[in-house]
Amino acid sequence: MEPGGLEWLLVPMQQLVSWGAAGAMVFGGVVPYIPQYRDIRRTQNADGFSSYVCLVLLVANILRILFWFGRRFESPLLWQSIIMIITMLLMLKLCTEVRVSNELNVKRRSFAAADSKDEEIKAPPKRSYLDFDLNYFWHWSKFTDYVQCVLTFTGVTGYITYLWLDSSLFVETLGFLAVFTEAMLGVPQLYRNYQNRSTEGMSIKMVLMWTSGDTFKTVYFILNQAPFQFSICGLLQVFVDMAILLQVYLYSHYPQKPVSHTAHPASTKAL
């Protein structure tokens, strides 16, 4: 058979593989959170999942979208960011509802100035318009507070990007910050596991999917000649994933002494 005789088959196959890879990039990133989401809903306990993972991904993907306006990379990567932002907001909504329902007699905390009904009547604390107390940042009691924070961050960074969009140095730095922040995705979970001396409550399937997905993503970046920031930080992300898997092995085979709640009162907080 002549080489040209297979062209009618090879071209559609190549196109199909290309579409499949693009689809995997767009939706593959959210798959690891499905088992964690289901576990939290089933157990009504979010202690094993660090909501700072959501914070990292929200910041990273907002910055990546802004980077796209300065340097038009592939559309699947843009759509991946949009889908991931929606997914992280859904995760935050569930975790917030579960945590608040499990807490009794706890003062409500909010991002914006709280209503009087949410504060103690006798001696309301002195607070500024925004609650930037590091002890309570990203530990708010309502999902709307997280949305307000995300919108505020998007508005501020979007305005700065608009002013400096003509600067190639700013655009490249923005791209690096976007992918470097995403590369730090596993660090909050890594630290939470270290604090608890355990990986109990964390979905092992989620981490395994993180590792396989990040490996695929890094190879995709390299083969498609994505901006160099993507490839470098992809490799870093795989390294962090492997560190979490090492924790899973160590804490399961060599159980650590439980940490007392008195010494570490914040260790059981999920948000």
CATH number for the domain that contains residue 205: 1.20.1280
Flag whether 128 is in a domain: no
Look at residues 86, 68, 56 and name the one whose alpha carbon lies nearest to residue 187: 56
Cβ burial, residue 243 (10 Å; 0-12/13-18/19+)? middle
Give me 148's structure tokens: 């307000």
Q: What is the mean pLDDT of each run of 10 residues along the chain (271 residues)?
A: 58 69 74 86 84 90 93 83 94 91 66 51 44 71 91 96 92 88 82 82 79 82 75 85 88 66 35 37
Q: Are residues 71 and 156 in the same domain?
A: yes
Q: Are residues 149 and 215 in the same domain?
A: no
Q: Are residues 198 and 147 in the same domain?
A: no
User: Left, alpha or beta for 125 (phi > 0: left; psi -120 to 50: alpha)?
Assistant: beta
Close Cβ partners of 209 (under 8 Å, ≥ 6 residues apart): 31, 32, 35
pLDDT of residue 11: 64
How many C-beta atoms lie closer than 10 Å to residue 15's C-beta?
10
What's the whole-model pTM score?
A: 0.70
Specify the residue for token string 């979490």. Answer: 244
Q: Are residues 33 and 91 in the same domain?
A: yes
How many C-beta atoms lie closer than 10 Å to residue 134's C-beta?
7
Flag whether 101 is in a domain: yes
Residue ranges making up the domain that contains 252: 185-256
Domain count, the chain: 2
pLDDT of residue 260: 44
Q: Are residues 83 and 26 in the same domain?
A: yes
pLDDT of residue 105: 53
Phi, psi values for residue 108, rounded to 5°: -75, 135
Flag whether 220 is in a domain: yes
Q: Are residues 235 and 148 in the same domain?
A: no
pLDDT of residue 17: 67
Flag whether 55 is in a domain: yes
Q: Are residues 20 and 152 in the same domain?
A: yes
Q: Are residues 23 and 69 in the same domain?
A: yes
Flag whether 156 is in a domain: yes
Q: Are residues 95 and 199 in the same domain?
A: no
Flag whether 249 is in a domain: yes
pLDDT of residue 267: 32
Q: Are residues 152 and 221 in the same domain?
A: no
Close Cβ partners of 171 (under 8 Å, ≥ 6 residues apart): 67, 70, 71, 164, 165
Look at residues 139, 136, 31, 131 and name the one whose alpha carbon lies nearest to residue 95: 139
pLDDT of residue 129: 43
Flag whether 216 is in a domain: yes
Q: Are residues 73 and 156 in the same domain?
A: yes
| Rounded CA separation 101/252 (Å) | 30
